[in-house]
Copies of this chain bind each other. A is one copy, B any other.
């Protein structure tokens, strides 16, 4: 038996970790743009990275340490992705880390970046952060702010997990990413710290499983930015380990943050769950659900609050999965919009569906009636703000 209890604040709750964020002038207007997370002892670390073939320099740098290693220092910057920068991009990271204060006793320091692709880092500015950071501070809030790019709000969460007869551990995370991750390729970064005693050989596996049902449900596999990173770092300071409880906590954190990313969709106002039920295979359920959450026409219909179920049907039909118009049903929350017996909207159910669409959050359910596999993907609407934000992102 265990309880997962959401608690206030972020990484500050986790034993052994310090964090903070400062402004070094990468962003304009004095906004925070450099963050660190460090531990007073060496920690096991695992990560899940983008499937993009052009992985950014910080990812290549991380991978140089091999599959399983320990670290006590994570540096993060926003505004510049350090991607497509070749060997020089890795040299820049090494140069930055060569200036880390010696009292930190940094071992295998890792970096993570987000922002514009194809520009060298301003290493001098980033090194300046080492004079500004409060290395013994617990400023998770500042770290969460410093990693934001187009995010409208910071993303941070913490839980305490009480396990009957074993004691408690903590897990917390900060995250950045806004909305229409795919196909827009906006970068998402997530850093999870825990004092649970996670066996080092399990770290990456458990993280992958959690990401599959959370961050991957808001993105099409393989269609990701150059920098996407989910990292898990474990101090083990609680001395407590319970695989089931830890996995539940990890799923809770990652699912919560994934939905926060959707909710923060660039310029979006709605979070919609696209549940595809009774598909022939799990892969087909995923394929159709993600096609819905990524369709431009579906997204604009959400923005227009138009219960145009024809676009839902057409997107499913175009997704390449097995389906049959004489077995399909489509619901907006619990309102039936289409079924083989009721192919046309009557005005009452159209009005009821339109009312559902006015909500900030609702579900579009497609029952394929083909098999028994289901998957839910999450998406948001696309409106004018999205165009404004992305037409001239670099300036």
| Residues of A near any B CB (own CB < 8 A) | 50-55, 81, 83-86, 88, 116-120, 180, 183-186, 222-226, 294-297, 300-301, 303-304, 306, 308-311, 313-326, 338, 340, 343-345, 382-384, 386-387, 390-395
**Judging by beta carbons under 8 Å apart, are A318 and B52 in contact?**
yes
Among the listed B50, B54, B323, B386, which residue makes an inter-chain contact with A300, where contact means beta carbons less than 8 Å apart? B386
Which B residues are in CB contact (< 8 Å) with A326?
86
In the bound assembly, the distance between CA atoms of A294 and B233 in angstroms comes to: 37
Given known A-B contacts A222-B320, A387-B387, A184 and B296 have beta carbons under 8 A apart: yes
In the bound assembly, the distance between CA atoms of A386 and B300 in angstroms comes to: 9
In the bound assembly, the distance between CA atoms of A81 and B325 in angstroms comes to: 15
A-side interface mostly: loop
Which B residues are in CB contact (< 8 Å) with A294?
183
In the bound assembly, the distance between CA atoms of A382 and B387 in angstroms comes to: 8
In the bound assembly, the distance between CA atoms of A344 and B340 in angstroms comes to: 57
Which B residues are in CB contact (< 8 Å) with A223?
318-320
In the bound assembly, the distance between CA atoms of A392 and B296 in angstroms comes to: 13
Question: Smallest CB-CB separation from A221: which chain B residue?
Answer: B320
Of the A-B pairs whose beta carbons lie under 8 Å apart in the complex, a sample of 13, sorted by A's number, is A52-B314, A53-B321, A54-B325, A83-B314, A86-B326, A184-B296, A185-B311, A223-B318, A226-B313, A296-B296, A297-B390, A300-B390, A303-B391
Query: A229 CB to closest chain B CB, in angstroms?
Result: 14
Which B residues are in CB contact (< 8 Å) with A81?
310
**Judging by beta carbons under 8 Å apart, are B310 and A183 in contact?**
no
**Judging by beta carbons under 8 Å apart, are A340 and B86 in contact?**
yes
Which B residues are in CB contact (< 8 Å) with A50?
318
**Judging by beta carbons under 8 Å apart, are A83 and B118 in contact?**
no
Among the listed B185, B318, B387, which residue makes an inter-chain contact with A222, where contact means beta carbons less than 8 Å apart? B318
Question: Smallest CB-CB separation from A116: which chain B residue?
Answer: B310
Which of A54, A83, A225, A345 counts the most chain B CB atoms within 10 A?
A54
Question: Smallest CB-CB separation from A118: which chain B residue?
Answer: B310
Query: A394 CB to closest chain B CB, in angstroms?
Result: 6
**Judging by beta carbons under 8 Å apart, are B225 and A314 in contact?**
yes
**Judging by beta carbons under 8 Å apart, are B308 and A394 in contact?**
yes
Question: Smallest CB-CB separation from A325: which chain B residue?
Answer: B54
**Judging by beta carbons under 8 Å apart, are A344 and B222 in contact?**
no
In the bound assembly, the distance between CA atoms of A341 and B216 in angstroms comes to: 35
Which B residues are in CB contact (< 8 Å) with A51?
318, 320
Which B residues are in CB contact (< 8 Å) with A222?
318, 320
**Judging by beta carbons under 8 Å apart, are B300 and A345 in contact?**
no
Given known A-B contacts A224-B318, A300-B390, A303-B391, A117 and B313 have beta carbons under 8 A apart: yes
